[in-house]
Structure 1
Amino acid sequence: MSGGEEGEGASLEFTPTWVIAAVCTVIVAISLAAERLLHYTGKYLKSKDQKPLYEALQKVKEELMLLGFISLMLTVFQGRIVKICVPSNTMKHMLPCSLSHESSSTGEVPDASPDLSSHHRRLFAAEAAGSGYCASKNKVPLLSLEALHHLHIFIFVLAIVHVTFSVLTVVFGGAKIRQWKHWEVSIAKDNHSVGEVLKPKFTNVHQHDFIKKRFLGLGRHSVLLSWLHSFFKQFFGSVTRSDYTALRLGFIMTHCRGNPKFDFHKYMIRALEADFKTVVGISWYLWIFVVIFLSLNVNGWHTYFWIAFFPFLLLLAVGTKLEHIISQLAHEVAEKHVAIEGDLVVQPSDDHFWFRRPHVVLFLIHFILFQNAFEIAFFFWIWVQFGFDSCIMGQVRYIVPRLIIGVFIQILCSYSTLPLYALVTQMGTHFKKSIFDEHVQAGLVGWAQKAKKRKGLKAAIDGSTQAGSTDGSAVRSLQMVGIGRKETTPPTEIQPSIGA
């Protein structure tokens, strides 16, 4: 064998068949065991009605499928990638570690030649034939097999850490929201009859707990004080019983006035579970962020440190905005009324949200969770792959603040921002489809599809009639069975469930 073949070992043509069969058996057995484990875990979560965790498991499967495809691409094209040769000078710019770090860690002395450093000699000594191929041209590979392997591991670690952190955030946030259940039960007991709810009474607006805690009423300085109050409010008692009661009543009186016994808490949990499917995924724009960060992780820039402040500041801005929306709802009522007949009712509106789009908040939370997971994943990947003393890791004074900020973001998002989002996002102009139970949603979709088909069929029949190509008796027969009739309301068995 040649030197290159000797370094790579025997090919599959000269490998004993029992070795091939044994290795395949082990790999297939491990893969099937993992697949069955995920399958039965999903069945268990569904049986326990753990929908958020079940949705997270589905996202894990999607990420594993994506990673499997990435692994396949890297395996198939690695031979071509390592044979992409570039001049050695090209590989000296924008390095995560300086060449002096590399030479000191290996104990090697850089070559006197400016075009052949120890960093490049290591690339020349890589295990692939592509390294020798590029060395024969006095160039270096664009990416070595070792670097490809490290990159693949990083992508896998990032996906797993992001999904895990998202699950923990929603589990802890959901636990916080479920603590509000006793508020819902208490309100339901107080409003045990529709007649009592609608019974006329007068409320002194400025003496109401919701107004006293949210309306500052200090003239032109109230705007600044309101924002400052909202900023600090997110750290302690972000949602009180008076907040929950006022926002709940505002939602019910706006969207389901006919059913004052509507279980707002149950609807809020369903809406959060539906949004969770978005939060736990890794969208294409998040992968773009990964690419941008990897390109900016240059030695001396400390990008990994400064970028940790971005999700931190963004999370504070989101929490402040959500708290300020509650304060705005209180201000609207307090500035218009001194006393009102009946209970205090706020008016939900998209005008309070950024760009009049409540779902922008969900997008920002998604990005915050991903970026925080990216920071933590990058830290553990460097630690395991290269060691704590790696030059990529940086100095201790940069590492500790990163970890503290990451933990703070995870706790604040779980116990404050996410519960705030689950409540305040219902204060938009429109309600979410989660207001219906799943079987009602399916019924409404089926009704809409049938109505659309009937409308299209009627239009076709009317057009044929005007063209004189349709028999009148056939049209009357179709109309008798209801195909030509307009259907503008859902089936009666669905309507009573809208406010339930």
Structure 2
Amino acid sequence: MAGGEGEGTSLEFTPTWVVAGVCTVIVGISLLVERVLHYSGKKLKKAGQKPLYEALQKIKEELMLLGFISLLLTVFQSSIVKICVKEGLTEHLLPCSLSDKKEASKPKAEGTSHLRHLLAEEASAVGYCALKNKVPLLSLEALHHLHIFIFVLAVVHVTFSVLTVVFGGAKIRQWKHWEDTITKDNFDASQVLKPKVTHVKDHDFIRNRFVGIGKRSAIVGWLHSFFKQFYGSVTKSDYVALRLGFITTHCKGNPKFNFHKYMIRALEDDFRKVVGISWYLWLFVVLFLLLNINGWHTYFWIAFIPFFLLLAVGAKLEHIIIQLAHEVAEKHIAIEGDLVVQPSDDHFWFHRPRIVLFFIHFILFQNAFEIAFFFWIWVQYGFDSCIMGQVRYIIPRLIIGVFIQVLCSYSTLPLYALVTQMGTYFKKSIFDEHIQAKVVGWALHAKQKMANNGGPSHRDGSGHDGSAAAAPSAAGSAFKGIQLAKLNQQS
């Protein structure tokens, strides 16, 4: 053996048939997975399963990222394990106590110590640091376990996000019969020509959502919103009122607008962002790993963050519906025709409906992180491991994870899909994809044309090019023109 007994045989003295055989297996498995993902994507795209197709694309991105992480760990592992520090520095901020470390090292020395001798780099790193009376900063085994955890986290997050949108989308699709019923009823000639004058509080939407005016009623309204998310979060009267408010505000020229289809497209677009792992979510992972200290039970307390945040988001979305009902009830005693609410960004946190999507993204990731961390420890170290913690902390954590997944799928996500349409502006998903492409092309062409016609001579008093101000206006006109053309085509 070259290099000593503990280091094993190097590639120089390994039979070629062994090297070729191992490479064949690894490459074969990789190509098989790549082909499965490719044909699955083609099949989903052909079947019109856009959310699942987008999730598959995100899985490919995560696998590429994990492959790069694996490459970095492989290239730099020899350097990392040879970073030496004083032994005292490694005895602080431990997930397990030092007594647990001593007990855990005994079975390793008896049963699995021979595996370490197969890792030449780690063995040399220990000897290298021992000569300096120090210890390695991070062992090769710890690097390997960390890599597995990152992989498990990415897969669990993508899987949970897919399940949430699939189940939530299934519930939203149940509202399609409401859309069909509304479309059929609203175009009865007798109803259109002879609108009735009705008392506002006679409408189901107001009767179910209006709780009076005043501080006491505001508290009751929030309590009603909080509990409403657990049962019948969206009723037909809610759907009818919010749908009509959206169409009256944004699609007044097309009362036949298919609001349900638009809502599904908007949810599919948002799903692209939710299923990914953004940089700030990776920062959260690092922060959690830092705070996972013995005796703190961080893994338990941190489970309540997505739990309370999900309850707050659900209550807020329900309360927005109450606010819309209040606005109508306070302005009118009786109305002629249908009850119309007024969409506005003012009802949302910081006047930004997109913040709700950010919170849902964080909730899904944090919940997936909790579940992935649990299963990773269970498989890697065992249920009785010191890092797993006590049973009285584990069971509530798992119950909270399941509760979050169910509530987010069947209540919060459908609420989000409907209520976030009550913002001041509609989303680009109001158009089909080919119409969106025409809008963008038309707007860019108009902007370029205005810039060419304006030239440097058309400047305002502030020294800015006047065409720059005119270009957005032209782009907006183009956008509105496409919108009207699309709406007239639908009608």
Q: Among 193, 199, 204, which residue is 2:199 paired with?
A: 204
Map of 2:317 onto structure 1: 322
**Is the 1:194–1:260 Cα contact (8 Å) retained in structure 2?**
no
Q: What SS class does the counterpart of residue 8 from structure 1 fall into? A: coil
Map of 1:416 onto structure 2: 411
Map of 1:496 onto structure 2: 485
After superposition, what is the alpha-carbon deviation per residue over 1:118-161, rounded to whole angstroms, capped at 9, x for unaligned? 9xx99x99844212111111101110000000000000000000
**Is the 2:233–2:318 Cα contact (8 Å) retained in structure 1?**
yes
**Is the 2:257–2:487 Cα contact (8 Å) retained in structure 1?**
no
Map of 2:466 onto structure 1: none
TM-score, scaled relative to structure 1: 0.89
Q: What SS class does the counterpart of residue 455 from structure 1 fall into? A: helix
- Inter-partner Cα distance in structure 2 for 1:457 and 1:47: 42
How far 1:233 moved relative to its partner? 0.2
Map of 1:19 onto structure 2: 18
How far 1:456 moved relative to its partner? 2.1
After superposition, what is the alpha-carbon deviation per residue over 1:304-335, rounded to whole angstroms, capped at 9, x for unaligned? 00001110000000000000000000011111
Q: Does 1:166 align with 2:165?
A: no
Map of 1:477 onto structure 2: none
Residue 498 to residue 135, structure 1, CA distance change in 2 (3 Å): farther
Q: Does 1:62 align with 2:51?
A: no
What is the letter of the counterpart of residue 7 of structure 2?
A: E
**Is the 1:203–1:344 Cα contact (8 Å) retained in structure 2?**
no
> Identity percentage over the alignment?
74
Superposed, 1:260-275 pairs within 5 Å as: 260-275=255-270
- Inter-partner Cα distance in structure 2 for 1:49 and 1:109: 52
Select between 127-136 and 284-293 the one with higher mean Cα deviation: 127-136
Q: What SS class does the counterpart of residue 212 from structure 2 fall into? A: coil
- Inter-partner Cα distance in structure 1 for 2:304 and 2:409: 18
After superposition, what is the alpha-carbon deviation per residue over 1:71-90, rounded to whole angstroms, capped at 9, x for unaligned? 00000000000010000000
After superposition, what is the alpha-carbon deviation per residue over 1:404-424, rounded to whole angstroms, capped at 9, x for unaligned? 000000000000000000000
- Inter-partner Cα distance in structure 1 for 2:475 and 2:120: 75
Map of 1:77 onto structure 2: 76
- Inter-partner Cα distance in structure 2 for 1:376 and 1:7: 38
Q: What SS class does the counterpart of residue 203 from structure 1 fall into? A: strand
- Inter-partner Cα distance in structure 2 for 1:432 and 1:288: 30
Residue 218 to residue 148, structure 1, CA distance change in 2 (3 Å): same
How far 1:494 moved relative to its partner? 6.3
After superposition, what is the alpha-carbon deviation per residue over 1:414-447, rounded to whole angstroms, capped at 9, x for unaligned? 0000000000000000000000111110111111
Q: CA RMSD in A?
A: 2.3
Residue 9 to residue 53, structure 1, CA distance change in 2 (3 Å): same
Q: Does 1:284 align with 2:279?
A: yes
- Inter-partner Cα distance in structure 2 for 1:355 and 1:490: 30
Superposed, 1:299-378 pairs within 5 Å as: 299-378=294-373
Residue 109 to residue 286, structure 1, CA distance change in 2 (3 Å): closer
- Inter-partner Cα distance in structure 2 for 1:226 and 1:293: 36
What is the letter of the counterpart of residue 404 of structure 1?
A: I
Q: Where do 5+ consecutive residues of structure 2 fail to align?
A: 459-473
What is the letter of the counterpart of residue 173 of structure 1?
A: G
Map of 2:34 onto structure 1: 35
Q: Does 1:232 align with 2:227?
A: yes
How far 1:5 moved relative to its partner? 3.8
- Inter-partner Cα distance in structure 1 for 2:239 and 2:4: 71
Q: What SS class does the counterpart of residue 5 from structure 2 fall into? A: helix
TM-score, scaled relative to structure 2: 0.91
Q: Does 1:385 align with 2:380?
A: yes
- Inter-partner Cα distance in structure 2 for 1:109 and 1:18: 33
What is the letter of the counterpart of residue 237 of structure 2?
A: S
- Inter-partner Cα distance in structure 1 for 2:276 and 2:86: 39
- Inter-partner Cα distance in structure 1 for 2:433 and 2:57: 18
Q: Does 1:6 align with 2:5?
A: yes
After superposition, what is the alpha-carbon deviation per residue over 1:460-487, rounded to whole angstroms, capped at 9, x for unaligned? 4967xxxxxxxxxxxxxxxxxxxxxx88
After superposition, what is the alpha-carbon deviation per residue over 1:141-183, rounded to whole angstroms, capped at 9, x for unaligned? 1100000000000000000000000000000000010010000
Q: Among 416, 420, 423, which residue is 1:428 paired with?
A: 423
Q: What SS class does the counterpart of residue 387 from structure 2 fall into? A: coil
Q: What SS class does the counterpart of residue 260 from structure 2 fall into? A: helix
- Inter-partner Cα distance in structure 1 for 2:107 and 2:403: 42
- Inter-partner Cα distance in structure 2 for 1:136 and 1:73: 27
Superposed, 1:123-272 pairs within 5 Å as: 127-192=122-187, 196-197=191-192, 199-217=194-212, 219-272=214-267
Q: What SS class does the counterpart of residue 83 from structure 1 fall into? A: coil
**Is the 1:226–1:327 Cα contact (8 Å) retained in structure 2?**
yes
What is the letter of the counterpart of residue 216 of structure 1?
A: V
Residue 396 to residue 494, structure 1, CA distance change in 2 (3 Å): closer
Q: Among 444, 447, 452, which residue is 1:449 paired with?
A: 444
- Inter-partner Cα distance in structure 2 for 1:404 and 1:213: 32
- Inter-partner Cα distance in structure 2 for 1:303 and 1:50: 39
- Inter-partner Cα distance in structure 1 for 2:476 and 2:244: 29
How far 1:59 moved relative to its partner? 0.2
Residue 270 to residue 108, structure 1, CA distance change in 2 (3 Å): closer
- Inter-partner Cα distance in structure 2 for 1:224 and 1:304: 33
**Is the 1:96–1:299 Cα contact (8 Å) retained in structure 2?**
yes
How far 1:197 moved relative to its partner? 3.8
Q: Does 1:101 align with 2:100?
A: yes
Q: What SS class does the counterpart of residue 340 from structure 1 fall into? A: strand
Residue 393 to residue 461, structure 1, CA distance change in 2 (3 Å): closer
- Inter-partner Cα distance in structure 1 for 2:108 and 2:40: 54
- Inter-partner Cα distance in structure 2 for 1:107 and 1:312: 39
How far 1:24 moved relative to its partner? 1.2
After superposition, what is the alpha-carbon deviation per residue over 1:14-72, rounded to whole angstroms, capped at 9, x for unaligned? 22222211111111111111101000000000111000000000000000000000000
**Is the 1:173–1:419 Cα contact (8 Å) retained in structure 2?**
yes
- Inter-partner Cα distance in structure 2 for 1:431 and 1:205: 27
Map of 2:290 onto structure 1: 295
What is the letter of the counterpart of residue 52 of structure 2?
A: L
**Is the 1:103–1:109 Cα contact (8 Å) retained in structure 2?**
no
- Inter-partner Cα distance in structure 1 for 2:214 and 2:77: 67
Q: Where do 5+ consecutive residues of structure 1 fail to align?
A: 111-117, 464-485
Q: What SS class does the counterpart of residue 31 from structure 1 fall into? A: helix
**Is the 1:158–1:378 Cα contact (8 Å) retained in structure 2?**
yes
What is the letter of the counterpart of residue 64 of structure 1?
A: L
**Is the 2:78–2:121 Cα contact (8 Å) retained in structure 1?**
no
How far 1:107 moved relative to its partner? 3.8
- Inter-partner Cα distance in structure 2 for 1:136 and 1:219: 76
What is the letter of the counterpart of residue 176 of structure 1?
A: K
What is the letter of the counterpart of residue 496 of structure 1?
A: A
Residue 6 to residue 197, structure 1, CA distance change in 2 (3 Å): farther
- Inter-partner Cα distance in structure 2 for 1:196 and 1:9: 87
Map of 1:474 onto structure 2: none
How far 1:13 moved relative to its partner? 1.7
